[in-house]
Amino acid sequence: MKTFTRRDFGWTLGKGITATALLGSTSLACGQSAKNENKKLGVALVGLGSYSTYQLAPSLQDTEHCYLAGIVTGTKEKEQVWQDKYGIPKENTYNYDNFDTIANNEDIDIVYVVLPNSMHADFSIRAAKAGKHVI
């Protein structure tokens, strides 16, 4: 029997949760018109720590039904790095203060909150109020 480290477990669990959440969200788009039926869902990552950097963002490059559409970060220096690496437009880059304006962004369908637990409720509620699906 193979021994799993905590890191292996976290990586496998993260991929499973991401796939389940993202594929589960595709059913939310079923009510769209036929012309949008093949539209990939845009995901914004809120928090660009190691989980987003090393697991979520790279995994989103390989998905069939979604793509990394935007980022939300509290670190100004990360903005340009992520924009360049993933081709994220400046208008899809947010910080914690202007996050609520994400409601006006049609590129972003799903907000994936990847913040410390103490910040989850606040940003999940704000994303839901913005009319976005929250993971």
User: Measured between alpha carbons, how far is 52 from 75 in angstroms, rounded to an integer?
Assistant: 14
Nearest of 55, 126, 56 to residue 95 by alpha carbon? 126
pLDDT tens-digit profile, the chain (135 residues): 566 566 665 665 565 556 555 555 544 443 444 445 678 999 999 999 999 999 999 999 999 999 999 999 999 999 999 999 999 999 999 999 999 999 999 999 999 999 999 999 999 999 999 998 988
The structure tokens listed for 11 are 């990586």
The structure tokens listed for 135 are 């993971």
Quote the pTM value.
0.73
Structural domains of the chain in order of their starting residue, each with its CATH number: 6-134 (3.40.50.720)
CB 70 within 8 A of CB 88: yes
Read off the DSSP letter of residue 132: -
